[in-house]
Amino acid sequence: MLPIRSLERPHILTIVLIASLGALNLNILLPSLNEIARAFAVPYSYVQLMLSAYMALTGALQLVIGPLSDRYGRRPVLLISLSIFLVATLVCIYAPTIGVLLAARMVQATVIAGLVLSRAIVRDMVPLDQAASMLGYVTMGMTLVPMVSPAIGGYFANSFGWQANFAITLIFGGFVYLVCLLTLAETNKAPADSFTEQFRAWPQLLRSRRFWGFSFTATFGSGVFFSYLGGAPFVGSEILGMSPSELGYQFAYVGLGYMVGNFISGRYSTRLGAVNLMNAGAIVSASGAIVPMLLFWAGWQVPTAFFAPMLLVGLGNGMTLPSANAGMVSVAPHLAGAASGLGGAMTIGGGSIMSVIASAVLSRETGPYPLLAVMLASTILSFFASSYIRILDRQEADEE
C-alpha cells in the first residue's frame, strides 16, 4: 500500500501509472478505427485523424506543459491536466457526431502531461545514467498497457461497440488521478521564477548539439513505432483481412519486445552507456522492418509474417528511447521540464508526421512494402543521430 502523501520521492509505481495512461489512450482505439468510420459513415481518413492529429497536438502541448511544471511544480500541472482529460473522455463516450468526437479526442491530448512529467520527475530525483536506468524500468512497466490494450479494445469493440474503449480509459484515468492525488509528492524543489523564463531559456537548449542529437535519436527511433501505428491497422484490415479482435492481439508483439528492450535498458544502461544502447537499438529495429519485407517477398503473406517481426521493432525502441529521453532532460538539468517538453514535442510531432506518411503511402496494391520502407528509413536516421552523440563525446574528451 502506498503511503498517502508522505513520500519524499514518488513511488516508481506511481510514475508507471502516470506514463501508462497516455499509452492506453493512444493504443486502445487502434482496432476500432474502421468501426468508428462505419458508425459515423465517414471515410477512414477522417477517423485516422484520431491518431495523427491527436499525436501532433500532444507534441504541441509538451511545449507548454514542461515549462509550466518548471514554474508551478509537477504535481499541480499533472492533476489539472488529468482533470481535463477525464472530462474530454466522458464527452467522447456520448459524442453524437464525428465532429464532436474528434474535438473531444483532441482535448484528450492533455494526457500527455503524464509522459512529459514522468520523465521530468525521474530526472528531478537522479542523475543521467541512473535516470536512463530508472526510465527503462518505468517504461518496461508501462509497456504492459500498449501490449494488451489493443487486444482489450478489439474485444470490447466487438462485444459492446467502440464507446466501450473510452469507458475503459475513463475508469483507468480516474484511478490514476486518485493515485496521484494521494501519493504524488512534488519533486521540483527549485521552481523557475516565471513561466516565460523557461521559453527564454530555450535558446540554451537549441544551441546544444547534444540536445539535438538525443532529440533526433528519439524522434526517428519512435518514428519507427508511430509509422507502424499509422499503417498497421490498414495492413491488418485491408490487406490481410483481419477483424478488430484478431488485429488487436497482433499488437502484443511490439509491446512484448518493447518491454524486453526496456528491461535491457534498466539493467545495463549504466554498464554499457547510453550511446551504445541507442546504436544497438536502432540496428535491432531495422531488422524488424527488413525481416517482414523478406518474408512477404518470399511469398509468406500471412499476419504472422508481418506482425511477429515487430517484436524486434519494439525491442529496439525499448533499448533506444530511455537513454534518448534521459539524455534530452540531462543537457540542462535546471531546465528538465522545458527540455522534456521541447524534446517530447519534437519526438511526438515527428512521429505524427511519420504516421501520416505511412498511412498515405499504403494501398491494397502496394502491400506492406511502403510502410516497411518508411520504418527502415527511420531506423537508419536514428542510428546516425545517436552516432553523432558519440562523435560529440569524443570531441569533448579530446578537448579535455
- Residue 363 phi, psi (nearest 5): -155, 165
What average pLDDT does the segment 224-241 reach?
85
Alpha-carbon distance of 185 to 74, in angstroms, equals 9
The DSSP letter of residue 193 is: S
So what's the pLDDT on residue 131?
A: 63
**Residue 130 — very low, low, confident or very high, per pLDDT cuts 50/70/90?**
low
Per the domain annotation, does 5 fall within a domain? no
Alpha-carbon distance of 305 to 148, in angstroms, equals 20
Per the domain annotation, does 121 fall within a domain? yes
What average pLDDT does the segment 119-140 reach?
67
The DSSP letter of residue 30 is: G
Closest CA to 33 of 133, 108, 105, 96: 105
Closest CA to 293 of 368, 231, 382: 368
So what's the pLDDT on residue 143?
A: 65
Per the domain annotation, does 3 fall within a domain? no
**Does residue 5 sit in helix, strand or coil?**
coil
Alpha-carbon distance of 245 to 154, in angstroms, equals 4
So what's the pLDDT on residue 321?
A: 87
Per the domain annotation, does 1 fall within a domain? no
Alpha-carbon distance of 121 to 98, in angstroms, equals 37
Question: Which set of grid coordinates corresponds to residue 153?
Answer: 479494445
Q: Which residue has the cell 528492450?
A: 261
**Residue 220 — very low, low, confident or very high, per pLDDT cuts 50/70/90?**
very high
Closest CA to 323 of 251, 376, 390: 390
Per the domain annotation, does 2 fall within a domain? no
Per the domain annotation, does 342 fall within a domain? yes
- Residues 6 or more apart whose Cβ sits within 8 Å of residue 261: 281, 284, 314, 315, 316, 317, 318, 319, 320
CB 157 within 8 A of CB 297: no
Max mean pLDDT among 98-107, 251-260, 386-395 falls in 98-107
So what's the pLDDT on residue 43?
A: 79
**Residue 155 — very low, low, confident or very high, per pLDDT cuts 50/70/90?**
confident
Closest CA to 368 of 249, 232, 248, 237: 232
Sign of CA dihedral 376, 233, 254, 112: positive
So what's the pLDDT on residue 198?
A: 59
Total structural domains in the chain?
1
Question: Which set of grid coordinates corresponds to residue 210?
Answer: 547534444
The CATH code of the domain that includes 214 is 1.20.1250.20
Q: For the segment 286-333, what is each residue's pLDDT rounded down to a tens digit?
A: 999 999 999 999 989 899 999 999 999 999 998 998 888 888 877 776
- Residues 6 or more apart whose Cβ sits within 8 Å of residue 360: none
- 257: domain range? 12-399
Alpha-carbon distance of 160 to 155, in angstroms, equals 9
User: Is residue 224 predicted with pLDDT exceeding 70?
Assistant: yes
Residue type, 239: I
Alpha-carbon distance of 230 to 243, in angstroms, equals 17
Per the domain annotation, does 76 fall within a domain? yes
Question: Which set of grid coordinates corresponds to residue 399?
Answer: 578537448
Torsion of Cα atoms, 62 then 68 then 69 then 73, to 10° = -160
Closest CA to 251 of 188, 195, 314, 297: 314
User: Is residue 2 predicted with pLDDT exceeding 50?
Assistant: no
**Does residue 318 sit in helix, strand or coil?**
helix
**Does residue 367 sit in helix, strand or coil?**
strand
E strand or H helix at 141: helix 128-142
User: Is residue 6 predicted with pLDDT exceeding 50?
Assistant: no
Q: For the segment 92-114, what is each residue's pLDDT rounded down to a tens digit?
A: 999 999 999 999 999 999 998 88
Alpha-carbon distance of 36 to 237, in angstroms, equals 14
Per the domain annotation, does 6 fall within a domain? no
Closest CA to 284 of 260, 251, 249, 252: 260
